[in-house]
Amino acid sequence: MASTGSNSSALSIDSEATSDVIVGVPVSSQAAVIAEIVRSARVALTRELAGLRGRIIIVDPEPTDGTPTRVELAVGDDGDDLVVLPAQGNFSRGRALRRLFEATLESGARGVAAIDGTAAITPAWIANLARPLVDGAFDFVAPRYRRHPFDGALTRSIVQPVFRACFGLRIEQPMATEFGCSRRLLEHVLHTPQWPADNDQTQIDLWLTTTAVSGGFKVCEALVGPRRRGPRDEAQDLSGTIAQIVGGLFNELERRAAIWHRVRGSAAVPTFGTARADPLEPPAVNPSHLLDSFRLGYRELSGVWAEILPPATILELRKLAAASPDSFRIDDRLWARTIYDFALGHRLRVIARDHLLRSLTPLYLGWLASFILVGRNAQESAIEAFLERTGQAFEDEKPYLISRWRWPERFRPVRFE
Amino acid sequence: MWEQTSRIYNQAATRIANGFADFLPGVVVFCLIVLVFGILAVAARVLVVRLLRGFNFDQRASQLGLAFLGEWSVAGRPSLALARLLFWAIVILGLLAGLTALDARMPSEFALAIFDYMPDLLAALVIVIVGNILARFLARSVLISAVNMQIQAARLLSIGVKWLVLVLAGAMALEHLRIGRQILLLAFGILFGGIVLALALAVGLGSKEMVTRSLERQIRDAGEDSDKLNHV
């Protein structure tokens, strides 16, 4: 092993031993899975990316939690390609990524495939994320996970369509914790003054994607395998997750308003890798529970929503709350406008931001119920077509968002109790 | 006799004239003070209206739980109501300050007592306003959290928290105003003690099984959904 974080702050990347590609793991106290990740990374570097000089860099916040020992066990004696860097200061994902990016530039590598340190992955993941970078064609590689359309519904219903409409690229995972970054992009982001604050764990991932897209860097997607749920996915309740993910997205909209106001339409990005064709098992979810949550939400939170949404939207929601499960469908345009109204409410702080974001939970569950009711007996391709229509609705409704963003006083919802 | 009457009359006239001469400057000073405070009140009113309009206060008032201020104004605007409140507070202060210039014992003592009371009055006002904002914020927090936890009685919980904070703020304000301290303390002890005891008895005896079933159902439902669906 080249070095471990247990003994020094004098660790540095040996500049003479330059690399072609770095596999980076910003660990967030998950020593249990780190050994498996290192094994996969080594297989990827020796087999899938054979011929390239590769190195694994782990940014470790707590060298005392057993990570170096587990890494040593995983690597054995032959560990010259591994560096464990101690995280500097209080650990945050943003700070760890920054450390990783700096180390990548020091190593002279052409790019880094960053892997979330909380979920186990296969060697093919790393190879697919890294290959478009070392071939020199692309600057940012986003993962495209293999999973059922019902999975990742929050990303599919809000993050993905808003990103598509506002930034003009159809990326399946705009805020994925795994990605590839070219040297050119790393140099750009490290010199960008608006590096997200340490207290936001998810914002950094979306920020990187939007920085790449809005900076004119070449973006592609890599087909990777199914993503097992990491501890981070299960750490919070749903409303906390929504507040974090959607809050990060809305912050990004606020930060880059001048850019997305000029974007028209959207384009697909090139995709690399091979997808498995075997059908996926849909997750078992009872839509009647979701419908109950939506109805309870309408009954109790319509007063809160009335401070964010216009009366016409509240009226539509009232009709939906009274609808039977057979006829319960949230119209794509209504959904797009609702999310845009929440984005604007977030920007104008019409109510406390945390309240606004958490009050979105029943609406999201209503959308999910509608989505599952439409797609439960449909083919995967039909569900994908449904999601495509949703994305298109967000694009079609973008002028509504822009006009409200520019002249919010004309659209202020009428408050009623 | 005529001379005596004349002398007494002259003495009385002199006393009245002296008294009037002593009193007149006080009246002039009173008028001056009232005039200055009146000008100050008008200036403060104009300034406050402009400042509050600059902050978009009329629209933010409902978010801050101060919508009730709108009812105090004919135009229904909280900024005008606040400006009017400030105007009359300054005018009344001016009148009280003016009374001390008249050198009359009763009005002066009354004015000084009011001035002495003013910090408590202001503190009570701040407590009521902050309590109102806090009650509204907490009520909405509880409402949203309870709905997201699928609690059917979310509204009831929210209203309970709101009134708890409002009553507490009211009691603290009355304490500052030195009104009914002992009664207030006793009433609170009895009220909160009674509520806690009633809840404990209701949950512990009457609704034990219902609460158990409800908790079990919530844990089971949460487990069912979260285990099988990855939202992110």
Range of the domain at A322: 287-410
pLDDT attached to residue A11: 40
Q: Give B228: exposed, middle or buried? Use CB within 10 Å, 0-12, 13-18, 19+.
A: middle
Looking at the structure, do residues A257 and A360 belong to the same domain, yes or no? no
- Measured between CA atoms, the residue of chain A closest to residue B154 is A300
Q: How many CB atoms lie within 10 A of CB B19?
A: 10
Single out the residue of A279, A282, A288 nearest to residue A376, CA to CA: A282
- Residue A351 tokens, joined: 């109510």
Looking at the structure, do residues A244 and A317 belong to the same domain, yes or no? no
pLDDT attached to residue A31: 62
Looking at the structure, do residues A262 and A297 belong to the same domain, yes or no? no
Q: Write down which residue in A247, A272, A297 finishes a domain.
A: A272
CB contact under 8 A, B148 and A355: no
Looking at the structure, do residues A76 and A125 belong to the same domain, yes or no? yes
Give per-residue pLDDT as tens, A179-190.
999 999 999 999
Residue A306 banded pLDDT, cuts 50, 70, 90: very high
Single out the residue of A133, A135, A202, A136 nearest to residue A174, CA to CA: A202
Q: Write down which residue in A211, A239, A272 finishes a domain.
A: A272
Task: Tell me if A180 is assigned to some domain.
Answer: yes
Looking at the structure, do residues A294 and A360 belong to the same domain, yes or no? yes
Rounded mean pLDDT, A199-224: 87
Looking at the structure, do residues A242 and A344 belong to the same domain, yes or no? no
Looking at the structure, do residues A297 and A263 belong to the same domain, yes or no? no
CB contact under 8 A, B231 and A297: no
pLDDT attached to residue A192: 86
**A-B C-beta contacts closer than 8 Å:** 78
Query: Which CA distances in Å does A196 have to A93, A190, A248, B75, B95?
Result: 10, 12, 10, 45, 57
Give per-residue pLDDT as tens, A316-351.
999 999 999 889 999 999 999 999 999 999 999 889
Looking at the structure, do residues A305 and A250 belong to the same domain, yes or no? no
Looking at the structure, do residues A43 and A140 belong to the same domain, yes or no? yes
How many domains in chain A? 2
pLDDT attached to residue B110: 76
pLDDT attached to residue A6: 39
Looking at the structure, do residues A82 and A31 belong to the same domain, yes or no? yes
pLDDT attached to residue A93: 82
- Residue A348 tokens, joined: 């104008």
Low-confidence ranges of chain B (pLDDT < 50): 226-227
pLDDT attached to residue B22: 79
ipTM score for this prediction: 0.85
Looking at the structure, do residues A315 and A396 belong to the same domain, yes or no? yes
pLDDT attached to residue A403: 94
If one compares A413 and A324, the residue with the highest pLDDT of the two is: A324
Q: Indicate the domain borders of chain B.
A: 1-103
Looking at the structure, do residues A52 and A76 belong to the same domain, yes or no? yes
Query: Is a pLDDT exceeding 80 seen at residue A238?
Result: yes
CB contact under 8 A, A150 and B221: no
Task: Tell me if A282 is assigned to some domain.
Answer: no
**Which of B134, B149, B230 should we substitute to test contact with A (largest number of A Cβ atoms within 10 Å)?**
B230
| Cβ neighbours of residue A349 closer than 8 Å, sequence gap 6 or more | none
CB contact under 8 A, B143 and A300: yes
Q: Which CATH number does the domain housing residue A184 bear?
A: 3.90.550.10
Give per-residue pLDDT as tens, A261-304.
999 999 999 998 876 767 777 787 888 989 999 999 999 999 99
Mean pLDDT of chain A: 84
Does the reported pTM lie above 0.90? Answer: no
